[in-house]
Structure 1
Amino acid sequence: MPHHPNLDRELAAALDRFEMPFPDLSTLTAEDLPEMRAQAAAMYAATAVDDPLVTIEERWAQGPEGAPDVRLRVYRSAGAADGPLPCLYWIHGGGMIVGTPDADDALVGRFVKEVGCVVVSVDYRLAPEHPDPAPVEDCYAGLAWTAKNAAELGIDPARVAVGGASAGGGLAAGTVLLARDRGGPAVAYQLLVCPMLDDRDNTPSTLEFESAVVWARAANVFGWTSLLGDRKGTDDVSPYAAPARAEDLSGLPPAFIDVGELEVFRDECLLYAQRLSQAGVSTEFHLYAGAFHGFDLIIPDAEVSRQAGAARIVALRRALLA
């Protein structure tokens, strides 16, 4: 597939050096998911590196009513001073259909080291086996557990941010809406990295990116359909599942949103940032020219990738350490 004419030149050159093409997700089906998840797990196992500067502890939170307990991974600096420390409650990506918190070890380890915070990462149930509201309710249950056990974890409950990437960014936004509407836990900040926010598939960027480096329109439709089934695109979708549907964004914590120019999520992120700001929510927004979905994870050494990673660190430090 030829490159998009707006693709960042450094990203394009790196893609040209890749020996293996990215998988074609345009015909993804539920039958493909077991192999896809197994391949992702094998890739993580092959590339995982223990970081002596970060300790990881497994904990379990009580799940939503009638549901299993929720696995959490708690990351902290190996040499951290006694708390209370700020916390980033993190939600992994994967289109609602794949992913585990373990695969984000390196990513959240950077937050631990450079922000000076504790990270709690949640292992929510995946669609289509566990459709909405299971994923967002798992995320909320883990957040509630984190707030309840803040003292034991060495966390300052007044300095808890909720963040995530891609589907995790959408779940983070939904979890923050739930926290507001249920009267807690308190959330100081939301860090939404290329979030998946809108199931309606009707923005210009969803129509534009029938083809994309990663996560084109067909894959996005499959992800939302896995989560929502026949409700996708109808009026019977909760804003906690698709936060772009929330009519009232007032009273939410300050927000950071970023997204690439060349991805399906571009316009829904633009609109969500605009609506947050119009609702009186202090919002920082970054649109990375020439960047595709997940560019910073796939090509981390590119200048635009370093810029994106640094901006998130700066935003969290300002929000949690000021």
Structure 2
Amino acid sequence: MDPELEAFVPLFPRADLTDPITQRDNFAQLAASVPSPDTTGLDIEDRTVPADPEVAVRIYRPRESPEPRGALIWLHGGGWVMGNLETEHPWAARIATGSGAVVISVNYRLAPENPFPAALDDAYAVLNWTAEYAAELGIDPDRIAVGGHSAGGGLAAGVALRARDEQGPAICFQLLNQPGLDDRQQTWSVRNFTDTPWMNSDKVAAAWRHYLGPATATQYAAPARATDLSGLPPAYIAAAEFCPNRDENIAYAQRLLEAGVSVELHQWAGTFHGSQAILTAEVSQRQHAEIYAVLRRALA
């Protein structure tokens, strides 16, 4: 493991999702400990997307970017059971500042109270709203991307599949950072990473149980189950070396390539799931810089 990251491992809470309500509070406390981002160059606005039910979003607009701008619909991590607009604020603000894109952070419904497809429906409603009101939002409708971290990355991939299949709004790019893609848990990494920091195989299994509830997993819940990946937007996929999701991330990237989809894949050596939150580490700084650069290119 990267030595700068390894020094922080004892400070991370035990990877556990048996009690999602308690873990939400713990996650919020952990997120609050992350240094606040510089938002002086951003206009930040909370909006409500009309849907059934309504979906709260937070929009980050870089002041110096010309209109119309490219936009990223951003879906937070947290195993589908944790996270909200506040916990995701540092991530979303830094992405907007670093990339120059309008970032629309989505407060999707959480499991287990709201199992699949609630979160996917919320994310898809935000995609449709963004495309419909692009002019009002100062967004170029031809430059709308979807992205997310961990569970949010899996949601973003599911949204891309659904938009393709339902002839929904055009998505120009998908940014998938350590995404949760496969509920079957058969890869080497998910079977062997039983005590890795923050995310291990037991936590992955619990997250999928909470998210799916009684539903049968479809390709929109677990995109790795999709048999046809053709016609999807270009993708950037980042995997962490000591992450249960690592092998399904790499396999999904390869399958996208075989389906004719342009993919940039980066397996970050020495990292673990979510370790990019340790901003002082040099490898984390490179991860953030790469995400910003990838988005600038994708939305140019």
| Partner AA of 2:80 in structure 1 | M
Partner in structure 2 of residue 261 of structure 1? 241
8 Å contact kept, 1:296–1:309: yes
**Range that drifts further, 172-181 or 101-110:** 101-110
Return the alpha-carbon distance in structure 1 between the equivalents of residues 94 and 157 of structure 2: 22
Count, aligned residues = 299
- The within-5 A match list for 1:107-146 is 107-146=91-130
Cα distance, 1:62 vs structure 2: 2.2
Residue deviations 1:165-191 (CA, integer Å, cap 9, x gap)? 000000000011111111021100000
1:24 to 14, 18, 22: 14
Return the alpha-carbon distance in structure 2 between the equivalents of residues 75 and 307 of structure 1: 22
Partner in structure 1 of residue 60 of structure 2? 75
Return the alpha-carbon distance in structure 1 between the equivalents of residues 264 and 63 of structure 2: 31
SS of match in other structure, 1:101: coil
Return the alpha-carbon distance in structure 1 between the equivalents of residues 122 and 37 of structure 2: 28
Cα distance, 1:44 vs structure 2: 4.3
Cα distance, 1:34 vs structure 2: 2.3
Residue deviations 1:192-232 (CA, integer Å, cap 9, x gap)? 0000000001110011111111111111111000011255x
Give the share of equivalent positions with the same residue, in percent.
Answer: 47
Cα distance, 1:54 vs structure 2: 1.5
SS of match in other structure, 1:144: helix
8 Å contact kept, 1:52–1:78: no
Unaligned residue ranges in structure 1 (runs of 5+): 1-6
Greater CA radius of gyration, 1 or 2?
1
- The within-5 A match list for 1:31-42 is 32-42=19-29
8 Å contact kept, 2:76–2:88: yes
Task: From the superposition, tell whether residues 49 and 301 of structure 1 become closer, same or farther in structure 2 (CA, over 3 Å).
Answer: closer
* Residue 299 (structure 2) pairs with residue 315 (structure 1): no
| Partner AA of 1:95 in structure 2 | G
SS of match in other structure, 1:270: helix
1:237 to 217, 234, 243: 217
8 Å contact kept, 2:233–2:261: yes
Partner in structure 2 of residue 191 of structure 1? 175
| Partner AA of 1:319 in structure 2 | A
SS of match in other structure, 2:213: helix
Return the alpha-carbon distance in structure 1 between the equivalents of residues 172 and 37 of structure 2: 31
- The within-5 A match list for 1:80-99 is 80-81=65-66, 83-99=67-83
| Partner AA of 2:22 in structure 1 | E
Task: From the superposition, tell whether residues 316 and 70 of structure 1 become closer, same or farther in structure 2 (CA, over 3 Å).
Answer: same
Partner in structure 2 of residue 58 of structure 1? 46
Return the alpha-carbon distance in structure 1 between the equivalents of residues 32 and 280 of structure 2: 22
Partner in structure 2 of residue 3 of structure 1? none
Return the alpha-carbon distance in structure 2 between the equivalents of residues 44 and 303 of structure 1: 20
Unaligned residue ranges in structure 2 (runs of 5+): none
Cα distance, 1:49 vs structure 2: 5.7
Q: Given the two structures, how large is their TM-score scaled by the length of structure 2?
A: 0.95
Task: From the superposition, tell whether residues 241 and 11 of structure 1 become closer, same or farther in structure 2 (CA, over 3 Å).
Answer: same
- The within-5 A match list for 1:228-307 is 228-231=212-215, 236-297=216-277, 299-307=278-286
Return the alpha-carbon distance in structure 2 between the equivalents of residues 150 and 241 of structure 1: 27
* Ranges of 4+ aligned residues in structure 1 off by more than 6 Å: none
1:155 to 114, 139, 150: 139
- The within-5 A match list for 1:163-174 is 163-174=147-158
Residue deviations 1:91-110 (CA, integer Å, cap 9, x gap)? 00000110012222222222
Cα distance, 1:14 vs structure 2: 4.0
SS of match in other structure, 2:86: helix
| Partner AA of 1:163 in structure 2 | G
8 Å contact kept, 2:15–2:197: no
Cα distance, 1:39 vs structure 2: 3.2
Cα distance, 1:9 vs structure 2: 2.1
Return the alpha-carbon distance in structure 1 between the equivalents of residues 276 and 32 of structure 2: 20
Task: From the superposition, tell whether residues 68 and 89 of structure 1 become closer, same or farther in structure 2 (CA, over 3 Å).
Answer: same
SS of match in other structure, 2:93: helix
Return the alpha-carbon distance in structure 2 between the equivalents of residues 230 and 151 of structure 1: 40
8 Å contact kept, 2:241–2:270: yes
Return the alpha-carbon distance in structure 2 between the equivalents of residues 184 and 132 of structure 1: 20
Cα distance, 1:50 vs structure 2: 6.5
Return the alpha-carbon distance in structure 1 between the equivalents of residues 196 and 118 of structure 2: 29
Return the alpha-carbon distance in structure 2 between the equivalents of residues 275 and 115 of structure 1: 28
Cα distance, 1:35 vs structure 2: 2.5
8 Å contact kept, 1:169–1:193: yes
8 Å contact kept, 2:115–2:211: yes
